[in-house]
Amino acid sequence: MRYAARKDVVHAPIVEGLRMHGVVVFSMPEPGDVLCYYHGTWTRLEFKSDKVTRGYKREKTAAQEKRATLAEIPIVHTLSEALDIFGIRLESK
């Protein structure tokens, strides 16, 4: 039985940033953290906290490792990495 799975601390800011750039984002518990739609393409993403933003360290779970052998889901740590998946570039000021 699964109890109150915590979301990585980067989850909310990345989802908000993707949506601000026109990506449709649906939160999903499995597989991956979110299902995204952008310019006719569906993509699942898995979020992991990095050394700068993490509130705790979490590696891939056993289920995620097993799933990766069947279908790899991109893991992103930052909004910039997530936007790169869709070919969206942040404009520098």
From its phi and psi, is residue 32 left (phi > 0), alpha (psi between -120 and 50) or beta? left
pTM of the model: 0.70
Three-class DSSP labels, 16-41: HHHHHCCCEEEECCCCCCEEEEECCE
Q: What is the pLDDT of residues 34-65, one digit of tens each?
A: 999 999 999 999 888 765 544 444 566 677 67
- What is residue 91's predicted lDDT score, i.e. its pLDDT? 75
- What is residue 45's predicted lDDT score, i.e. its pLDDT? 92
- What is residue 55's predicted lDDT score, i.e. its pLDDT? 46
Assigned CATH for 11-85: 3.40.1350
Average pLDDT value for residue range 60-80: 77
CA–CA gap between residue 67 and residue 62 (Å, rounded): 9
- What is residue 3's predicted lDDT score, i.e. its pLDDT? 47
